[in-house]
Copies of this chain bind each other. A is one copy, B any other.
Amino acid sequence: MQLPSVLLENAVAEFAKLPGIGKKTALRLVLHLLKKEEKEVNHFSETITKLRSNIKFCHRCHNISDGDICSICSNSMRKQNIICVVETIRDVIAVESTQQFNGTYHVLGGIISPLDGVGPDQLNIDSLIARIKTEQTEEVIFALSPNIQGDTTIYYIQKKLANITCKMSTIARGIAFGGELEYADEMTLAGSLQNRLPVKQYVNG
């Protein structure tokens, strides 16, 4: 695709670096911006620059935050002694949007995956252990990816906490709501048979 201007080409190249955006979509976005007022476009780029230079991460849970401590960690209405351990900030947003969790989070920044070169040292695991020890946490809920890497990460953290009395759980695994039995993989189906729930508990939530 030959573009008629170097400026246009540069802008398209920058947009095409974003995940899931190819050169054609990038061109569509850039031409859309070109139709806007100069003021609006400047506002767009300023917002992004400002975000990157001013963003902070919560010292306690590593979530994105406007201050040193995020709004969840500083909220006294939430149970500060329950920690939900997640991989990324997007997972925090996903759990928050269920409106079913009233504790705090700890963002690991990933999961242990030797194949991808991610070991425990690259993750916020030490700060999680320290936090559980000093804060006398009541319960740790692991909401990690349901795969080998996620299980490895849970196993690793659990070993590190061997001498600490603290409830530990993982989110339930089974057939997703609306999913079809025949398409479920064997491990999921076997697990959901093993961990079957009393009908009463299920129906009454």
B19 in contact with A64 (CB, 8 Å): no
B11 in contact with A93 (CB, 8 Å): no
B residues in contact with A55, CB < 8 Å: 5, 7-8, 34
Q: Chain B interface: which of A22-30, A77-85, A127-135, A193-201?
A: A22-30
| Number of chain copies forming the complex | 2
| Contacts known (A11-B47, A72-B4); A29 close to B19, Cβ less than 8 A | yes
B14 in contact with A48 (CB, 8 Å): yes
Judge whether A89 is part of the interface by a CB distance below 8 angstroms. Answer: yes
B97 in contact with A1 (CB, 8 Å): yes
A52 in contact with B66 (CB, 8 Å): no
A45 shortest CB reach to chain B, Å: 3
- In the complex, what distance in Å separates the CA atom of A36 from the CA atom of B48? 12
- In the complex, what distance in Å separates the CA atom of A96 from the CA atom of B64? 45
- In the complex, what distance in Å separates the CA atom of A43 from the CA atom of B21? 18
A56 shortest CB reach to chain B, Å: 8
B residues in contact with A19, CB < 8 Å: 28-29, 32
Judge whether A157 is part of the interface by a CB distance below 8 angstroms. Answer: no
B4 in contact with A65 (CB, 8 Å): yes
Judge whether A160 is part of the interface by a CB distance below 8 angstroms. Answer: no
A53 shortest CB reach to chain B, Å: 6
Residues on A lying within 8 angstroms of B by beta carbon are 1-8, 10-11, 14, 17-21, 25, 27-34, 36, 38, 41-55, 63-66, 70-72, 88-90, 92-93, 96-97
